[in-house]
Structure 1
Amino acid sequence: MSYDPIDHDFERGMQNRRHILGDAWVNRSVTNATAFNAEFQNLITRFAWNEIWGRPGLEKKTRRVIVLAITMALGRWEEFELHVRAALLGDADTRLTPDELKEVLMQAAIYAGVPAANTGFTHAQQILREVGVQIGYTLAPLLPANTCHPGIGQEAVTASKPALHYSVRAPRSGKAPRHTVVLSHALGTDMTMWDQLANLLAADCRVITYDHRGHGSSAAPAGLYTIADLADDAARLLRELDSGPVLWIGLSMGGMVGQELALRHPSLVNALIIANTTSCYPEAAREAWQQRINTVRTQGIEAIADAVMGRYFHDQFRAEHSATVTRFRERLTSTDVDGYISCCHAVGSVDTTARLPQIGVATLVIAGELDQGTPVSMSQTLAEKIPQTRLVMLADASHISAIEQPDAFAQAVMQFILTL
């Protein structure tokens, strides 16, 4: 019977320890070990670094985040600094960016307390000053009043009238934006319907969302609107923001506005994604829009709310995601009545079909397999008449496909962006 002289638990632990903390730190610890603490060093190497860090159940980057949060919560600042430094300078699979480190400290502030987070930020900033050059990061000055929630963006209203409420998300990469993207919402919703996609795109794009006139926090001027009015609103917003040509992503009414914007203000659009939309309604549908206007004018939006939800979301989605449907219903019924009626008129009278061949930018048309409001045939018309067009149909999606099938919608968007 042979005896293996190698303590594999220790050796595996030492490999993990070096991988996470770096050779320089571990070498110093080993070199400085004494008869008094060597057994303790052996213990933590075998148990912390092998028994825990050696488990495959979590990625090592996740385990690093856990350690940072716990050491901050407990005020173990020497250990915290060790892992902050290692997180910023470590191997790619365990490294945290300064922004990721900030997010760890922000979340820990809620669960471990603001005083702990205050000290954590102080220690982390000192280390960032020391290693910033190595990782290409500069601690630029920024007034607290000038910050914004990165998942919402910097909100404001246009200086020109009617005032449009909008939000701008800067690319989280900290680099020049890959594209400037505008997300344009559906009738009876607001810019928050795009939150998930907006935050995905903001990884490397500048993302603009806004409330159409008559919706959300934008103004609702008197009089019936046209899609041309809404397109001119969008052009006004983009010029105020000095956006340059944008990738326009619009759903339903937002897709109609995108078509008109590309036709009326072609210099502002370099690509189009139009989803669950149409270039024109047949006469029967136009009459249905007028009936909706009459009902809302006499009975209010509540009278049509359930019917609208039935068109926006298919039966299974409404059964399985009742809270989401309730949220959209509340948004619909709280929309300014006059603004809603005016936008209904714009949507019901849309007519760009004859001019579609004039759209000169790459276009993706997204259709919902189950869409009753703008059936697949309407998307096929768009795809046939716009010269540079691809059509994607999303299975199990009705009218608000970006909410019903967010992953499939996002995948279609991202694949299209790769072609630009």
Structure 2
Amino acid sequence: MVAPGSRPACGVRPCSPASPSTTPDAAPFAPVPQSWRGAAGPSPHEWRGAAGFRRRSQPLRACRPGWVRCAISMRGGVRGRVVVALSDNIRQTGAVLAARMQAKVVDRVAYRPRRRVPAGQAGPSSQAKVGSTLKLSRSIEGRDRPGTPTVLVHGVGSEKADWDGVVRALGDSSPIVSYDLRGHGDSPRMEGPWDLDDFVADHMDLMRELGIESSNLVGSSLGGLIAQAVALAHPESVERLVVLSAVAGRTAEERRAVLDRLDAIESDGVEGVAERSVQRWYTAEFRDRHPDAVSRRMRQFAANDRASYTAAYRVLATSDLADELSGIQAPTLVMTGSDDVGSPPRMSRLMAERIPDSRLVIIDGVKHAILHECPERVAAEIMSFLSPGDPGHPGAQSDGMSVRRAVLSDSYVDNALSRRDAVSVEFQDFITKYCWDEVWTDRRLSRREHSLLTLAMTAALGRMAEFEAHTVGALRNGLRPDELAAVLRQITVYCGVPAGVGAAGAIRKVLGDDHERRTDVLPTS
């Protein structure tokens, strides 16, 4: 076993012991939840490459002399993956090491060291540093609360105070940490350029400073992009992920539009684009009902440091993790407003499709500023997601939602979910998990048989709206129109003529005027 700080024969550079912070904010929370880690040094089995990547593995023995360098690259199609760069004379040794680390072997990777702004180069509003790390401004609610900490990451041009409405609505269920990104709020101002790696490194440094080993990570807009990158590069640090009003998979037209906005910021400054930005973020109805709140937001936005805002917006405009989303391991909630033009529902659907264990919420009638327009609704969705109470297994919510969409269609489910409020959100989760996962995934019955039983029971109870919805589901599950006619005869005999007439009307409405799908046995009255 190799002691931390020394170099083993194989040439892998081990972690240097962590230095306990002396700042008041770094003091252990009391009582310290199990998911919060103190300032103890790393395990001897824990190795760090030049980029600060950490992975626990068994001690490496029998390695021939040479060198291996590990890096987390957020560029060039290898975001969030471990890359092992090998010198020509140790390919065999490197392959063994890569296999043990479950890494990908890549020749001659262009390694970019993790950059830090040297002390003294930040602007006059900079706070003190912790070692070589930026001292980010942070707010902590409920240090002594039990449970996994919830960490909130805001967007470009915003600040931690923009979470206040959501924080109030979340209540006291768990510790809540929010912080100002570099160049924002009360955190240090500085010039760029920056990239997504810098924000990820800032986040992880703050988590280490606070002793947080894992958290429920919530990011909005640029914060959502940062949260995705953290979940990819440091999966062990994210228990659950919430991505709000974020971007992924921009089209060529959308890329041109966001780059045009970047050009406008560089030429006109933050003040020059403030009014246009606020119009893009808030609905006209909200602006009319809350003019004072919108004016305050515009003043706060215009007060952003120009260099810092431009550097952050460039990261938002040029970063896209769409091709890497399948690598996110944490259960994920994706949410946006139905009228958000910068982070449209199409992007959120793409994220939900590509992230393996995910669920999607589209909030009807709002734009980008969901934290301001509907903080209670956002908090209700987050609380439901972070405390799922799954009946059978951790994936019950996502599995149930997949079945629900497969049977009833995306449009039907999206319409039902868009009408949720703080009262009905728990009910929607309940039926998704218990009805669509516990019942509809029972393989002792086929999907067709589930549909037949549901049609019979909803008709018998006179629930014609549900009968109509499940008629669509029955067709999607493979029932033919002539089989629906046979079901209708059974309903009429066993449930009565009024039930049969109602069911016939629902079937006729679903089939519409498609005479090839309709049957002559359907009654007309």
The answer (yes or no) to whether the contact 1:179–1:246 under 8 Å persists in 2 is yes
- The higher relative CO (CA closer than 8 Å, separation ≥ 6) is in 1
Aligned CA distance change for structure 1 residues 217 and 332 (closer, same or farther; 3 Å): same
Q: Distance in 1 between matches of 2:173 and 2:383?
A: 12
> What is the correspondence of 1:233-252 to structure 2 with a 5 Å cutoff?
233-252=202-221
* Residue number among 174, 185, 194 corresponding to 1:205 in the alignment: 174
What SS class does the counterpart of residue 392 from structure 1 fall into? strand
> What is the correspondence of 1:65-84 to structure 2 with a 5 Å cutoff?
none
The Cα of 1:272 is off from its aligned counterpart by 0.5
The Cα of 1:199 is off from its aligned counterpart by 3.4
1:263 is the counterpart of 2:235: no
- Which digits, 9 at most, give the CA deviation of each residue in 1:334-389, with x for residues without a partner? 01100100011100111211111110011000121111111100000000000000
The Cα of 1:195 is off from its aligned counterpart by 1.1
Q: Distance in 1 between matches of 2:170 and 2:375?
A: 13
> What is the correspondence of 1:131-170 to structure 2 with a 5 Å cutoff?
159=130, 160-170=132-142
Q: Distance in 2 between matches of 1:221 and 1:283?
A: 31
> What is the correspondence of 1:346-361 to structure 2 with a 5 Å cutoff?
346-361=315-330
1:307 is the counterpart of 2:276: yes
Equivalent residue letter for 2:387: L
The answer (yes or no) to whether the contact 2:170–2:379 under 8 Å persists in 1 is no
TM-score by length of 2: 0.48
Report how many residues are paired: 262
Aligned CA distance change for structure 1 residues 157 and 237 (closer, same or farther; 3 Å): farther
The Cα of 1:250 is off from its aligned counterpart by 0.9
> What is the correspondence of 1:74-153 to structure 2 with a 5 Å cutoff?
none
Equivalent residue letter for 1:167: S
What SS class does the counterpart of residue 301 from structure 1 fall into? helix
The Cα of 1:407 is off from its aligned counterpart by 1.8
* Residue number among 232, 251, 261 corresponding to 2:201 in the alignment: 232
Q: Distance in 1 between matches of 2:358 and 2:290?
A: 33
Q: Distance in 2 between matches of 1:283 and 1:198?
A: 36
- Which digits, 9 at most, give the CA deviation of each residue in 1:210-229, with x for residues without a partner? 01111111113322222222
The answer (yes or no) to whether the contact 1:368–1:375 under 8 Å persists in 2 is yes
The Cα of 1:292 is off from its aligned counterpart by 2.4
Q: Distance in 2 between matches of 1:220 and 1:375?
A: 30
> What is the correspondence of 1:281-360 to structure 2 with a 5 Å cutoff?
281-360=250-329
The Cα of 1:408 is off from its aligned counterpart by 1.4
The answer (yes or no) to whether the contact 1:281–1:350 under 8 Å persists in 2 is no
The answer (yes or no) to whether the contact 2:216–2:241 under 8 Å persists in 1 is yes
The answer (yes or no) to whether the contact 1:190–1:215 under 8 Å persists in 2 is yes
The answer (yes or no) to whether the contact 2:165–2:372 under 8 Å persists in 1 is no
The answer (yes or no) to whether the contact 2:162–2:372 under 8 Å persists in 1 is yes
What SS class does the counterpart of residue 295 from structure 1 fall into? helix
Aligned CA distance change for structure 1 residues 181 and 276 (closer, same or farther; 3 Å): same
Aligned CA distance change for structure 1 residues 158 and 243 (closer, same or farther; 3 Å): farther
Q: Distance in 1 between matches of 2:286 and 2:179?
A: 26
* Residue number among 397, 405, 409 corresponding to 2:374 in the alignment: 405
Equivalent residue letter for 1:347: L
What SS class does the counterpart of residue 270 from structure 1 fall into? strand
Q: Distance in 2 between matches of 1:246 and 1:318?
A: 35
Q: Distance in 2 between matches of 1:354 and 1:273?
A: 18
What SS class does the counterpart of residue 366 from structure 2 fall into? coil
Q: Distance in 2 between matches of 1:236 and 1:310?
A: 35
- Which digits, 9 at most, give the CA deviation of each residue in 1:172-204, with x for residues without a partner? xx5x42220011112111000001222343513
* Structure 1 gap ranges (5+): 1-155
The answer (yes or no) to whether the contact 1:182–1:248 under 8 Å persists in 2 is yes
Larger fraction in helix: 1
The Cα of 1:279 is off from its aligned counterpart by 2.2
> What is the correspondence of 1:361-400 to structure 2 with a 5 Å cutoff?
361-400=330-369
The Cα of 1:282 is off from its aligned counterpart by 2.4
What SS class does the counterpart of residue 193 from structure 2 fall into? coil
The answer (yes or no) to whether the contact 1:314–1:397 under 8 Å persists in 2 is yes
